[in-house]
Every structure is written in structure tokens, then in C-alpha cells.
A and B are shown apart, each in its own frame.
Chain A
């Protein structure tokens, strides 16, 4: 019986104290016909040694390929201290800080996180976290509807650069409450907003801008934010936190700044881990704080007048407001926020900026190398951060398969979204010059052998 401490003597004495003959007696209120004899498909127990061996075998099946995929999840160096500390039992096995006096560690960490993420995004207040970047857009959209009450259309306009999966998730989550999502027109040459074709009759509740875009481009967020505000809409910015060490933060977009910023927190010290657990972040202007979903930590004082931290504005939340809550969200990604806070503390702004610059430089080197190959060119011109869309002269999937056989994950197949043979590549600070050269050589090679095959 793994993890159960009871000796036979304990069990006997405990049953005696209860006044029951057997453990089975304790289930005598459950109708007999509902009880099962045994499970069918759960295997017999294994020891830690056996499961360790099995998991290592399976991990080896997945290997450690060289990865040039981004598309919403990014490989970065994570300082050893981040997860060493985050997995201390006091963080790892605590729960939501309902008993504030016994949870000051988690609460202060969240307060420090709220400070750091508002600084990065250039906005006033932050919540403690949401599930992930995609669902954060759904929550931001619902929040915009609650905040921008004057506009009744329920219509959210998405810039061309918004991650298509984020849109799918937003539709799945927010669609049931009557929100609709529409795309703004794109300029075919840049992939960015076509400012000459912007509609002025849509009465949007909010306009969503993603910077950098899903395809890696950088848009004129100042102009777009100003246009959105002129339409009476709120501006929701989706941003990559690493990029904010270089790029203008959403709080400074245009004349008024974005009203809400959100995004995927994974690049801040969270392993890629097949997609989760990550965390979504959300910050906003001070005036919108009461419409925010999720936990929020505030600094206050205790009976002795000393500073301390507690969950606050809980009247927004489901355990108080029930069907009238801002969201049903409660437990979400606390531990990942702890890791991100430690990560940001270790890097500081200068460290984060050098990660951002090195990623940008590596991507530039990679793209220059790849574009020297016949049949490869950039899909869009213009500036980028650490991810670039390439246009190929042939289908992408077979090339990626051939690269995978060489243990290189050559990027994300963008073709279905771009309407042409397109590949999205990303090189973060984790890649060396030799890595980049190896990828370019391998790519050139598979293109050549692919050509031979088709010749």
C-alpha cells in the first residue's frame, strides 16, 4: 500500500474507536449494487524503481532533438535555481493561500510577480495568473465586455497576427456568452494590418493586437491602438514577455496605451514540457481591476501594523459571487508563477534583454543562412523579433520529416495559415553558431535530396 502509513494495529484501533467491524462497514450507506469488485484496466502496482526505469525508457523514445520550433512555446535556458527552489516542498505542496498568515511565502512571491509583470508590460495591475496564453485571451475578451459596457456588439476584432489557436480557444470558451471574433484585413506583403482596409462600422468591444505576431512580424501597434480607441474599443495586447525586454510595452502603445495585456508566461523559466503546465499572465489599467478574473494579492498590514500580504478583491470570485463571478477560474498555475518570479529575479532586466538580443541575433543568422538556399525566401519583409516565416518552393511537411530523422525539429509548418508553402523558424539564445550552421547544412541537404526525389 504505497503512501499509506497504517499498521494492522492502527486500523484495528481506529475501527474500534469508530464502532465499525471492518473498513467495508464504513461504506454501508452506498447502495450495494453500485459497488464494483475490482478495476479492470489499471495494471498492478510497480515500485518507484520500476516506474523510474519505465519512464526513462519512454523519455529516451522522445529523445533530445535540436529544436527550432516556436509558435507559442519557446526553449530558453532556465537557471538551475529556479526549479530547485520552486519544487521545495513548502512551495510545491502548499495550497491556494486562503490562510494568509500561514502562506506569506506564496503571497509575497505573487506580489513580487505582480510587480515584475506590470513593470514589463507597462500597465498598472496584474492578477496572480491564468491557465495559459490562449485561455488568457478568452478571459481578456470577457473582461473587455464587462469593462466596456457602452458597446453592446459583443464583437472582438483580431489583428491578423493573433495566434490562430488562441482564436480557437477564445471562441470555445467565450463563444457561449455571445462573444464573436472577427479578423481584421491583412496586407499580403507584410502580413500585418492593412490600414487602408480597416472597417469603421463594426462597433468592436475590443481590438486584439499580438506583438510579435504569430508569424513573427512586428506591426505598427501605435497606429493600431489609436485606431481601436477611436472606434470606442478597448485594446488588448498579446505579448511575449521575453520580447518586452526590447519592444515597446503594451502600456505605451499609441496615445492611450493598451487597456489589457495578456500572454503566455512560459518563456519566463517554465520548461516546454509538451505544452504545459505553463501560465497565462494578465495586466490592465488600474480602473479595470474590479473586472479582472483570477486571484489578486494585495499588501496590507497586520494587527501590529506590520506589512503583510493577502488575497484581495475576492468579491469578484466564484467562491463568493458564485453565478455572478467574473470567471469560474480558481486554482490555476501558482507554481509556474513562483518559478517565473525566481527566473525574472535571477535575470533582471539586463539579463532578460541579453536573452532577447541573443535570440534576435541567432534568428537573424539562421534566416540569413536559410535564405541563401535555393527555394527559400522570407515570406514577409519587415522587422521581426526571434521568429521568422519563410516561403518555400515546395511542401514543407516532407522536409520537416526528413529533418526530424536527423534529430532536428526544423520549425512549425505554417502552410495552412499562410496559404502557401511556409515554415516558421525560431532560434533562441540556446543555439550556438555551430547549431545554426548544422541546421542550415541539414536543411540544404534535405532540400537537395528532396529535389532529387522529385526530379
Chain B
């Protein structure tokens, strides 16, 4: 990456009167809108030619690491290859141009894909119903907990307001519980990464609405006593929520429905390879068992026969009257759903299983190689799932090499860093997820880079100032928060 890149703002390139003239209608008539409703100032949007704009944003793109350009082992994010066909086919003109409120007569193609996607997701999760509307994992979580609440309320069980979360849970889990008007009861993790069973038994009771679990957990290990966990929570009258962040680890092998989960969200941008896009769009479809079917968010796509042919249509308020309601203006991130549909069809039944098998193979291989090279695994007695944790506790203490330092040093070696300092309970933690689409050579080269950095640190090198080869050096986060500069306002500088 070239550190001498042009880093000017698009506003620096603006000149009064310049623009991409082919992109908007010529002229423009006077309007019949009263002056009191009109704007009188001139907002500062860029004034640049088409070439300047294209060059500027192309240049900016080159300042990013991405899956297409670098190995990106960001734990918990499943940064696998995003097949190009998924994007191209979702953007076919008829799909891209379809108005969300267009009639079903002009939507049978789109709706049939959505219906089949629902059916495939039911199959891979072992659930009885799927709603595609949640727009990201966090909204899927919201939908899930809201359904759990609606279920209890429908039974007059209004006191169930506690959501149990393991201490290793993603931050979205407790944040979601709060958004649903619940309080959070945290349960600790045992020494081998399973949930602390006695603590769980003490945590459940008549106020338990449910538990939110990721399995394999955020610690990269499978919760072995999941059936017992389910029995305890169900026994206390609570429901089980499955956070699908790590579904890639068990795809086609184990199904959350078979583990007795009542509701699950899937991150289609992880498991089903829709793009991460520099922070979205995600897609957080939810699956439910029979108990929660009446509460699914709307709309859902239905199918019936009409004139001897399949006919697809919307299921809405009248069809699902106890629904928790609508979570988006239309039907969620529909274009993302099309991409997931294409990906799933290309994987096919057998391909689903291969995903979890090779994701797990890659993680265990990388873990074994790093362990053999002297890195400490957080859970050395356990199999890795599709991801695993290295702790730099020792390196930090003895050689002053922290997880942050190693992450930044990896950037200089042209690798994106693993997830750092999450889960919070493992000190100096690197959560590493290679995904199934990376080759053995890539993993081997990554191990070499890790060894080189650790060796250099042991020989006295410090990485406090890394990275050196990026467009910028390490950034002053404190200044960013204290002297807020959130928009370009030249008159104020």
C-alpha cells in the first residue's frame, strides 16, 4: 500500500461551477413552491468532474484492506470470499429496478427466490418458519428477543423480563435485551470454555424470559452440554435464542433446531457470503420453531397454487396477526437476500456441509501450526471450531508485545489483523477465523508472518509505532474523541 497516496478530501478538489454534467437533467424549471418553504442557502456538496470523482473514490478504495486483496482472518466475522456472480445477478436490471410496492404480478421472479430462500434456511437451521426481514444480525437479535417476549406475554406470563447472556457474548446480545425492555443476567464461563453450569442453574427462575447463546461460542469452542442447557432453561419456563454469528462452523452438520433452540438469527453476510461492504449491508433472517411461528416479523413470502401454477405473495398483518410487526420500511435488505439465494444455490446440499468442514479444518490447522510455533492457545484442550483464540498474555508480559501491537505489525506484512480484545475475558486476545475459502499456502504464509513478528519481539523489537506502510500511521483516538471533527467545515479552521 502506497503511503504517499493522494489523501485530499473531495472538497479540496471542488471548483465552483464544475460537475459531472452528463448525470443530471439540463436546465430546470422554476417551481410553484412558495418561497417560505424553499431553501435559500447553498449546501457545500462537491463540485468535481466525473473523472475527478471516479479517480478520487478509486484512490480511496485502494486505501482499504479487503477480502479481495488480503487475507482477512477477523474472528467472528466470517470474512470468506464473496462470489462475484451473487452481486451481478442481484443487480440484474429487473431486480435492481423493481419497486418494493410493485404488484406481485410483477414480482413472481423475486418472490420465488425469497420463498425458496426461506425454505433452504429452514432446512439448514432445523426451524419451522423463517422471516427474512431483519436487516442485520443485531436486528435479528431484536426480532428474536421481541418474539420471546411476545410469546410470554401471550400466555399472560408478564414477569419474565430477564435475559441470560454468557459473559463472553457479543455486545449486541445485552444491548438487544435492553432494547426489548429486558434486564441482563450474566453467567460466567468455565475453565474449558463451556458455560458455568452451576451458575446457570442459579440464574434461571420465574423471571427468566430466555437465554441468548452462540454455539460454537465466541470462544471458538462447541458448548458440549447444550442439551442440558436447553433442559435447564426450558425447565424454568424460558426460551432459547441462538445467535447465528458462528453458524459457519456447523453448517450442514448440526442444526440449532435439533439443539432445542426456539429461535435463531442468521448472519447472511457471514455464513452465506453476502458482502460486508465496509460495514454492511448485513442481513439477519430469523428462524423460529412452532411455538414462535405466530410472532414472526412481517412481511413473509407465501406460496399457493393459482391456475395450476405456483403463485407467490406477501404474508402480512392479516396472515400473522400476533406478529411483532414490521422492522423495516419494506422487506429488509432484499437485494442482499438475492445474493444469499444465489450463493446457496451454487453451494447446494453437499456444499453446505463442505463449508463447515473446511472452515473447521482451516481453523484447527492454523491453531495447530501456531501452537507448534510457540503461541499459546486460550483453550488448548479443546478442538477449535471455525475459529480459535491465541492469547499473548506471556508475550505482553515478557516482551511487551500486546495483541494491539501484533495486530498493527500484521498490517505491515499485508495481513488484516484478527479480532483483538474480544471476547473480553481472555487477556491479550486474538480471535482468528480463517474461513473455508483460504488455501493452505495462505495459512502457511500467515503463520510465517506471525512467527517473524514474535521472533523480532523476542529479540527486542518494539511494535508500539506500527504500522509503517499504511496510508497513515497509528491514529490518535483520544484526540478524535476530544476534539470532535466529524465534518469538513473550512470556515471553522
Contact B94 A63 (CB under 8 A): yes
Decide if A310 is an interface residue (CB 8 Å cutoff): yes
Q: Roughly how many angstroms separate A405 CA and B84 CA in the complex, as a whole number?
A: 35
Residue from A55, A166, A310 having most chain B Cβ neighbours under 10 A: A55
Would you give the 0/1 interface string for A44-55, flagging 1 where the beta carbon is closer than 8 Å to chain B? 111110011011
Given A45-B348, A169-B328, A271-B91, A91 and B416 contact (CB-CB distance below 8 Å): no
Given A59-B109, A319-B171, A334 and B361 contact (CB-CB distance below 8 Å): no
Contact A345 B46 (CB under 8 A): yes
Q: Roughly how many angstroms separate A377 CA and B255 CA in the complex, as a whole number?
A: 57
Min distance, Cβ B390 to any Cβ of chain A, angstroms:
16
Contact A11 B253 (CB under 8 A): no
Decide if A380 is an interface residue (CB 8 Å cutoff): no
Please give me the residue from chain A that is nearest to B5 by CB atom: A104
Residues of B near A46 (CB, < 8 A) are 345-346, 348
Residues of A near B279 (CB, < 8 A) are 95-97, 106, 128, 295, 331-335
Decide if A444 is an interface residue (CB 8 Å cutoff): no
Contact B62 A90 (CB under 8 A): yes
Please give me the residue from chain B that is nearest to A34 by CB atom: B254
Residues of B near A245 (CB, < 8 A) are 39
Residues of A near B101 (CB, < 8 A) are 69, 71-73, 412
Contact A95 B123 (CB under 8 A): no
Residues of B near A58 (CB, < 8 A) are 108-110, 112-113
B171 in complex: contacting residue of A3, A169, A321, CB < 8 Å: A321
Contact B332 A172 (CB under 8 A): no
Contact B349 A43 (CB under 8 A): yes
Decide if A255 is an interface residue (CB 8 Å cutoff): no
B364 in complex: contacting residue of A26, A252, A312, CB < 8 Å: A26
Residues of B near A328 (CB, < 8 A) are 138, 141-142, 172, 175-176, 178-179
Residue from A125, A312, A331 having most chain B Cβ neighbours under 10 A: A331
Contact B278 A94 (CB under 8 A): yes
B177 in complex: contacting residue of A72, A323, A344, A429, CB < 8 Å: A323
Contact B486 A114 (CB under 8 A): yes
Contact A331 B474 (CB under 8 A): no
Decide if A199 is an interface residue (CB 8 Å cutoff): no
Interface residues on B, range: 35 or more
Q: Which of B452-484 contact A (CB under 8 A)?
A: 465, 467, 470-477, 479-481, 483-484
Residues of A near B472 (CB, < 8 A) are 100-101, 104, 302, 306-308
Contact B281 A83 (CB under 8 A): no
Residues of B near A277 (CB, < 8 A) are 135, 280-281, 333-336
Contact A125 B486 (CB under 8 A): yes
Decide if B80 is an interface residue (CB 8 Å cutoff): yes
Residues of A near B67 (CB, < 8 A) are 89, 93-94
Residues of B near A89 (CB, < 8 A) are 66-69
Given A62-B107, A108-B60, A346-B53, A352 and B24 contact (CB-CB distance below 8 Å): yes
Contact A105 B330 (CB under 8 A): no
Q: Roughly how many angstroms separate A103 CA and B416 CA in the complex, as a whole number?
A: 10
Residues of A near B207 (CB, < 8 A) are none
Please give me the residue from chain B that is nearest to A118 by CB atom: B487
Contact B100 A65 (CB under 8 A): no
Decide if A264 is an interface residue (CB 8 Å cutoff): yes
Residues of B near A273 (CB, < 8 A) are 90, 95-98, 100, 334-335
Would you give the 0/1 interface string for B169-209, flagging 1 where the beta carbon is closer than 8 Å to chain A? 01110111111110110000000000000000000000000
Number of A residues with CB within 8 Å of any CB on chain B: 200
Contact B336 A276 (CB under 8 A): yes
Contact A247 B37 (CB under 8 A): yes
Decide if B235 is an interface residue (CB 8 Å cutoff): no
Of A16-24, A180-188, A226-234, A447-455, the one contacting chain B is: A16-24
Given A95-B278, A99-B411, A31 and B227 contact (CB-CB distance below 8 Å): yes
Of B71-79, B285-293, B392-400, the one contacting chain A is: B71-79
Residues of B near A17 (CB, < 8 A) are 365, 368-369, 372
Decide if B266 is an interface residue (CB 8 Å cutoff): no
Please give me the residue from chain B that is nearest to A95 by CB atom: B276
Residues of A near B258 (CB, < 8 A) are 34, 36
Contact A333 B280 (CB under 8 A): yes
B480 in complex: contacting residue of A63, A116, A163, A312, CB < 8 Å: A312
B477 in complex: contacting residue of A11, A67, A300, A330, CB < 8 Å: A300
Residues of B near A11 (CB, < 8 A) are 361
Contact A300 B475 (CB under 8 A): yes
Would you give the 0/1 interface string for B104-141, flagging 1 where the beta carbon is closer than 8 Å to chain A? 01111110110000011011101000000001111101
Min distance, Cβ B30 to any Cβ of chain A, angstroms:
8
Contact A350 B277 (CB under 8 A): no
Decide if A196 is an interface residue (CB 8 Å cutoff): no
Q: Roughly how many angstroms separate A388 CA and B98 CA in the complex, as a whole number?
A: 21
Q: Roughly how many angstroms separate A296 CA and B365 CA in the complex, as a whole number?
A: 37
Decide if B82 is an interface residue (CB 8 Å cutoff): yes
Of A130-138, A145-153, A200-208, A434-442, the one contacting chain B is: A130-138
Contact B53 A108 (CB under 8 A): no
Query: 14 pairs across A/B with beta carbons < 8 Å?
Result: A4-B358, A6-B439, A23-B361, A27-B253, A30-B250, A34-B226, A67-B99, A92-B68, A274-B107, A277-B135, A298-B480, A307-B472, A328-B138, A342-B53
18 new A-B pairs (CB below 8 Å) besides A83-B91, A119-B45?
A3-B273, A35-B253, A38-B349, A45-B350, A72-B100, A77-B24, A103-B65, A112-B488, A271-B97, A275-B332, A303-B474, A310-B477, A319-B422, A328-B138, A329-B139, A336-B277, A348-B19, A350-B19
